[in-house]
Structure 1
Amino acid sequence: MITLGIETSCDETSASIIDSGKNILSAKIFSQADIHKKFGGVVPEVASRNHALKIRPIVEEVINDAKISVNDIDLIGVTNSPGLIGALFVGVSFAKGLSYTLKKPLIPVNHLTAHILSGEIENDDLTPPYAALVISGGHTHLFHVSKSYAFTLISKTIDDAIGETFDKVSKTLGFGYPGGPEIEKNASFGDETKINYPIAMKNELNFSFSGLKTSVINSYNSEKYTKEDISASFQKIAVDTIIHKIRLASETQKISKLVVAGGVACNGYLRKRLQSELKNIRVFFPSKGLCTDNGVMVAYTAYQFFNKRIFMGFNSKAFDRDENIKLF
C-alpha cells in the first residue's frame, strides 16, 4: 500500500511517500527556521502563509521523487492535531481536497501519536508494549503504549514544555532560535557543575520547567556566570529531570522499553546520558531526521491505523490542543 503523509502542525511543511509501512520512497521537509529566527520564535500567521505557499510543491516533489503517479497513492494521512490551528488547517484542507479528488481514504493523525510511532520505523524489534516520551517545543509527555496501540498518559508538563524552555533560555542568553542546538553547542564549552539548579516537583510524576527557566534568567542577570556555564548547568538539570521522572515512573509502570521522540530528542548530550544511565531500560531514539516534524512519521502512523477504520470525513476539523482528544 502506497501512503502519502502530510505534516504542517508548526513551522515545517513536510510530505512523504512510503510503501508497505516502512519502505520510504521519498521524503521532503521545508523548514521555516530561518524565517522565524529574526522573530525569536514561531509566528503563527507567518507559518500558515508559508505552509500555503509550500504544501503543493512539496507534495508534488515527493510524488515525483518516488517515481509514482498521484493516482498510485492508496492512502493519505495528515496531522490534524495538536499544533498551530492555522498551520494545521493548511495541511488538512489540502489533504481533504486530494482525498476527494483521488477518492482515496484519509486518516487523521495525532501529532503525538506520530512522534511516538516514529521509533518503530527504523527499529524492527520495537513493538508494543513500551513507554514513550515525547519531548519537543510544545510537549513533554510520557505515555504507555499497549499491544493494541492504546495510549495511556503517565505524566506531562504542567507548564512549559522542555523544548520551549530551551528556546526561551537561548533567547535570554542571546543565542537565538531554535534554542536546542545553540544551548547544546555552548554547553560543550561550559562547566555543568557550576550552578546547582534543582529538579522541580521531585516527588511527582509530572514535569515542570517554568521555575528552572526563571532560575536561569536570574543567573544570567546576576552577571556571576558565563553564558557557557549557564548553558551547561541548565542542560544538565533538564536532562537530570527527564531521567529522574522516568525512573520514578518505572517504579509503578515497570518500563523495560522506552521510545524518546520529538525535536529535543536530537540533543546528543541527552541521548548519551539516557542510554548510559537508564539501567534495565532499553532506550530507542528515532534518527534525528525523524525526531523533528516530518511526513514520514505521519505516513507510517496512517498506515498502521488504516486497519482500525479510523477515517477523516470532509466535515472533520483540525484541533490546536490535545486535551480530550484520543491518540486513536
Structure 2
Amino acid sequence: MRVLGIETSCDETGVAIYDTERGLAADVLHSQIAMHAEYGGVVPELASRDHTRRLLPLIQRVLDEAGLTRHQLDAIAYTAGPGLVGALMVGASTAHGLARALDIPVLGVHHMEGHLLAPMLEDAPPAFPFVALLVSGGHTQLVEVEGLGRYRLLGESVDDAAGEAFDKAAKMLGLDYPGGPAVARLAESGNPARLRFPRPMTDRPGLDFSFSGLKTHTLTAIRRLEAEGALDESARADVARAFEDAVVDTLAIKCRRALEATGLRRLVVAGGVSANRRLRERLEREAAKRGAEVHYPRGRFCTDNGAMIAYVGAQRLLAGEHDAPGQMQAVPRWPMDGLQPPDGG
C-alpha cells in the first residue's frame, strides 16, 4: 500500500509517501520558521495561508521524487489534530478532496502518535513494548507503549511543555525564534558551575512535569544580573546553560523513574526537543547504567514531518480504518489517551 502523508498542524508543511512493502519512498518539508521569526512565534493566520500556498506543489514534488503519479496512490493520511485549527483544515480538506477525486480511502491521524512512532522509520526500530518521552513545543508526556494504539499515559506537564519553556527562556535572553536551538547554541559557551536552577517536581514522587516555575526562576536570575550590571554575553550564556541543564536533568530523572516503574528497558524519545544534544547524551548515560536502549528518530523526523503521518496512517489503514465519506477531521485539542488500537480492543 502506498500512502500519501500530509502534515500541516503548525508551522511546517510536510508531505511524504510511505510504501508498506518498501518503506519510505519520498518525503519533503517546508518550514515557516523564517516567516514567523519576525513575530517571535507562530502567527496562526499566516501559517494557514502558507500551508495553502505550499501544499499542492509539495504533493507534486513528492510524487515526482518517488517516481509515481497520483493515480498510483492507494490511500491518504493527514494530521487531524492536535494543532492550529486553520492549519489542520488546510491539510484535512486537501486530503479529502484528493482522496475523493482518486476514489481512495483517507484517514485523519493523531499528530502525537506520529511523533511517538517516528522511530519506526529507522533501520533498527524499537520493539514493543517501550516507554516514550514525547517532548515538543506543545507537549511533554511519558507514555507506556504496548503496541499501535495501546498507550498508557504515565505523566505529563501540568503547565508549560518543555519546548514552550525553551521558547520563553529564549525571549527573556533576547534570542531569536525558534527558542530551543537558540538557547542550546548559547548554552554551549556557558559555565555549568556558575548558576544552578531548580529541577521542578523531582523532589516528590510521580511522573508529571512542571516548567512554569523554572521559567519564573530564569526571569528572576536575569533581572538580578541586570540589576547588578552583570548581564553581559558571558552571563547570558551561563543562564542558558543553567536553564538547559535543569530541563535535561528533569526529563532524565522522570525517564529513569518511568523505566523503573514499568520494568521496561527500552526508551523512545521523540518530538522537537529530542534533537537536543545534551538531552541525548544524558539519556544515553542513564540508559547505559541500567542496560537499557534509547531510540530516537533521525534529525529531520524530530520536528513535524509528513513521513511520520504517512507511516502511522499506513498501519491503521492496513487494519481497515478510514474516515467516513465527507467526514474530515480537524481537532485542535485531542488527548492521546483517547486513541484505540485498530481492532478497538
**What TM-score do you get using the length of structure 2 for normalisation?**
0.92
Residue 79 (structure 2) aligns with: 79
Distance in structure 1 (CA, Å) of the matches to 2:171 and 2:123: 36
User: Any idea what the Cα deviations from partners look like across 1:46-80, whole Å, max 9, x if unmatched?
Assistant: 11111111111111111111111100001111000
User: Any idea what the Cα deviations from partners look like across 1:235-294, whole Å, max 9, x if unmatched?
Assistant: 001000001111222232113101100111111111111111233221101111011100
Q: 1:77 to 1:33 in 2, by over 3 A?
A: same
1:235 aligns with 2:244: yes
Q: How does 1:166-245 map to 2 (within 5 A)?
A: 166-202=166-202, 203=204, 204-223=206-225, 224=230, 226-245=235-254
Q: Secondary structure at the match of 1:260?
A: strand
1:290 aligns with 2:286: no
Distance in structure 2 (CA, Å) of the matches to 1:21 and 1:159: 42
Aligned residues: percent identity? 39
The residue type paired with residue 333 of structure 2 is R
Q: 1:125 to 1:61 in 2, by over 3 A?
A: closer
Q: How does 1:18-37 map to 2 (within 5 A)?
A: 18-20=18-20, 23-37=23-37
Residue 129 (structure 1) aligns with: 129
| Cα deviation, residue 139, structure 1 | 0.5
**Contact 2:107–2:323 under 8 Å retained in 1:** yes
Q: Secondary structure at the match of 2:317?
A: helix
Distance in structure 1 (CA, Å) of the matches to 2:334 and 2:193: 37
1:323 aligns with 2:335: yes
| Cα deviation, residue 324, structure 1 | 7.2
1:257 aligns with 2:269: no
Q: Secondary structure at the match of 2:238?
A: helix
Distance in structure 1 (CA, Å) of the matches to 2:178 and 2:192: 21
| Cα deviation, residue 215, structure 1 | 0.6
The residue type paired with residue 35 of structure 2 is I
Q: 1:120 to 1:189 in 2, by over 3 A?
A: same
| Cα deviation, residue 148, structure 1 | 5.0
The residue type paired with residue 169 of structure 1 is A
| Cα deviation, residue 123, structure 1 | 4.1
Among 301, 307, 313, which residue is 1:302 paired with? 313
Q: Which runs of 4+ in 1 moved over 6 A?
A: none
More deviation in 305-314 or 224-233? Answer: 305-314
Q: How does 1:259-274 map to 2 (within 5 A)?
A: 259-274=268-283
The residue type paired with residue 302 of structure 2 is C
More deviation in 274-283 or 291-300? Answer: 274-283
**Contact 1:21–1:300 under 8 Å retained in 2:** no
The residue type paired with residue 229 of structure 1 is D
Distance in structure 2 (CA, Å) of the matches to 1:148 and 1:120: 11
The residue type paired with residue 15 of structure 1 is V
Distance in structure 2 (CA, Å) of the matches to 1:78 and 1:327: 16
**Contact 1:14–1:29 under 8 Å retained in 2:** yes
Distance in structure 2 (CA, Å) of the matches to 1:126 and 1:28: 24
Q: Secondary structure at the match of 1:292?
A: coil
More deviation in 247-256 or 98-107? Answer: 247-256
| Cα deviation, residue 195, structure 1 | 1.5
**Contact 2:92–2:328 under 8 Å retained in 1:** no
Distance in structure 2 (CA, Å) of the matches to 1:291 and 1:12: 12
Residue 57 (structure 1) aligns with: 57
Distance in structure 1 (CA, Å) of the matches to 2:102 and 2:134: 34
Q: Secondary structure at the match of 1:146?
A: strand
Pairs aligned (count)? 328
The residue type paired with residue 219 of structure 2 is I
Distance in structure 1 (CA, Å) of the matches to 2:262 and 2:308: 26
The residue type paired with residue 238 of structure 2 is D
Distance in structure 2 (CA, Å) of the matches to 1:11 and 1:56: 16
**Contact 1:260–1:284 under 8 Å retained in 2:** yes
**Contact 2:96–2:328 under 8 Å retained in 1:** no
Q: CA RMSD in A?
A: 1.4
The residue type paired with residue 220 of structure 1 is I
More deviation in 123-132 or 290-299? Answer: 123-132
Distance in structure 2 (CA, Å) of the matches to 1:142 and 1:32: 28
| Unmatched 5+ stretches in structure 2 | 341-345
